[in-house]
């Protein structure tokens, strides 16, 4: 029997999305009855939205696979692994491979390639796919948001 203790921390994505939406529409500040600058909250929300979409487009094929993933309705990255033939993708041109509907085996293979690349990027972590300048931007945005929300983001660390 393995007696090693592993801590697993789960931060509720729904709560995070609610926070983002409430920043974007100003309802976060409204809840503080004038104690929070609503415009600043909206600006912070827009910065998050901009950077999330930028990373999604630049590194995770958002524009290419958004509709395909929704239409394919696979719940996790490994769901299409049976279509992945293991091809070396180091020189693969994802912008020119003709990926599109219908959901035939050829396009499922192309989607599986994208899933494999996405999974590898997740394993690497943002600090290995973003340059230092962009990491600094994300860190500053995190700190700005945490300050504006009175430590909402950093409160997860109080559970350690």
Q: What is the pTM of this model?
A: 0.76
Residues designated as active site: 12, 14
pLDDT at 17: 80
**Do 104 and 140 lie in a common domain?**
no
**Do 160 and 138 lie in a common domain?**
yes
Binding residues for Mg(2+): 12, 14
Q: Is residue 10 part of a domain?
A: no
User: Which range marks the domain in which residue 158 is found?
Assistant: 19-60+133-160
pLDDT at 144: 97
**Do 50 and 73 lie in a common domain?**
no
Rounded to whole angstroms, how far apart are CA atoms 59 and 54? 8
Q: Is residue 11 part of a domain?
A: no
Mean pLDDT of 81-95: 95
Rounded to whole angstroms, how far apart are CA atoms 114 and 84? 10
Q: Is residue 83 part of a domain?
A: yes
Q: How many domains does the chain have?
A: 2
Tens of pLDDT, residue by residue over 47-63, are: 999 999 999 888 888 88
**Do 78 and 101 lie in a common domain?**
yes
Q: Is residue 3 part of a domain?
A: no
């Amino acid at each position: 029997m393995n007696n090693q203790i592993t801590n697993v921390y789960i931060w509720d994505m729904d709560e995070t999305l609610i926070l983002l939406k409430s920043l974007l529409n100003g309802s976060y500040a409204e809840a503080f009855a004038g104690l929070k600058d609503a415009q600043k909250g909206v600006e912070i929300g827009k910065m998050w939205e901009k950077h999330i979409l930028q990373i999604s487009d630049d590194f995770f094929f958002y524009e290419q696979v958004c509709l395909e993933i929704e239409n394919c309705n696979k719940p996790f990255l490994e769901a299409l692994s049976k279509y992945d033939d293991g091809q070396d993708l180091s020189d693969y041109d994802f912008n020119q491979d003709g990926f599109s509907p219908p959901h035939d085996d050829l396009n499922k293979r192309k989607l599986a390639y994208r899933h494999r690349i996405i999974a590898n990027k997740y394993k690497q972590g943002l600090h290995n796919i973003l340059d230092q300048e962009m990491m600094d931007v994300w860190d500053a945005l995190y700190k700005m948001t945490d300050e504006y929300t009175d430590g909402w983001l950093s409160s997860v660390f109080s559970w350690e």
